[in-house]
Amino acid sequence: MRALLIVIAVAALATAAYGQETFVWFYGVGTGDFMDSPVVFGGAMDPGGDIEAGSWSITVPDEGWPAEAAARYSHIWNTFYAPNYSAGNPSFWTGYFDIEHGATDMNALEIVDDTNGGMMNGVCSVQIQVQDLNNNAVLDEGEFCSGSLSGLVIIIRDGEGVYDGMCGTGNYFGSYVKGCPGTMETWNYGMYLWLEDCTTPVEDATWGAIKAMYQ
């Protein structure tokens, strides 16, 4: 009897987490500046995707970052970019803004969908590539004015409207252009999300207990 209950419970939990997926994508364009506090990149959607009207924002946690401009710039570079230098032709730095690479928290993502009527929240990583065009391992003027970026996305189950009860994962890729010597950046990217109904509660303890029976 216990085995039967376990099978039923596992099936229910699996169904809850791996239900029918909904694919949503949009094209985002906006601006932001790592030198501002709080660090908020945001903007609107461009036509072409499932979401054509609305807004998005990515907030990068800057707790502990210096306020003074020169110190702040150095902190950002030395913490997130400089340790990730890859030799090549050209060599390049990869800026990782995520917990794995020294951030205090993940970047907060908010998407407002005025096309379909809804809002979703989540977290995302931000990966920014800076090419060392003259291969001298020193960031020179002009080397950090444009490039490519990408990231991974998790949508948390606290959306509203058409996204009520949905959660999921996704990714994005795009490019950035800076107003050198200014630090304001313009981002263009495409984001793809796979969402599913997560309204059925998935209790950690229950699932952990089930798995523990087999360990």
Partner 1 sequence: MNRLTFAVVLLAFALLVVQTAAADDSYMVGMQGLGSLMESPVVYSGNFMFGLFGAWEITVDDTMWPDPADSTARFNYIWENYFADNYLDTYGAESWSGSFNSATLMSTPHFRFDTSSPVGVIEGDITFSILVRDWYADGILSQQEKHDNLNMSATLNLNPTLGQGYFANTCGHGSVSSGNLNFHNPPMLDNLQIVGQLQTYTCPSPVEESTWGVVKALFR
Before 47, cis peptide (omega within 30)? no
Tokens of 158: 């606290």
Ranges within 188-207 binding partner 1 (CB under 8 A): 188-190, 192, 194, 202, 204, 207
Q: Can you tell me which of 42, 43, 49, 61 binds partner 1, judged by CB under 8 A?
A: 49
Give the CA radius of gyration of the chain: 21
Tokens of 130: 């800076």
Q: Which is nearer to partner 1, 76 or 126 (CB)?
A: 126
Q: Which of 84, 59, 62 is nearest to 73 (CA)?
A: 62
Q: Give the separation between CA 65 and CA 156, rounded to whole angstroms.
A: 27
Q: Which is nearer to partner 1, 59 or 72 (CB)?
A: 59
How far apart are CB 53 and partner 1 at their closest, in Å?
15
Tokens of 207: 């699932």
Q: Give the separation between CA 34 and CA 198, rounded to whole angstroms.
A: 34
Q: Which is nearer to partner 1, 71 or 83 (CB)?
A: 83
Residue 102 near partner 1 by CB under 8 A: no
CA torsion 58-59-61-66 (nearest 10°) is 110
How far apart are CB 83 and partner 1 at their closest, in Å?
8
Q: Which is nearer to partner 1, 63 or 204 (CB)?
A: 204
DSSP letter at 51 equals B
Residue 38 near partner 1 by CB under 8 A: no
Ranges within 121-140 binding partner 1 (CB under 8 A): 122-123, 125, 127-129, 131, 133-134, 136
Q: Is 89 strand, coil or helix? A: coil
Tokens of 28: 């985002």
Before 61, cis peptide (omega within 30)? no
Residue 106 near partner 1 by CB under 8 A: yes
Under the rule (CB under 8 A), what is the footprint of partner 1? 13-14, 17-18, 21-23, 25, 27, 46, 48-49, 84, 86-90, 92, 94, 96, 98-101, 105-106, 122-123, 125, 127-129, 131, 133-134, 136, 145-154, 156-158, 167, 169-175, 177, 186, 188-190, 192, 194, 202, 204, 207-208, 211
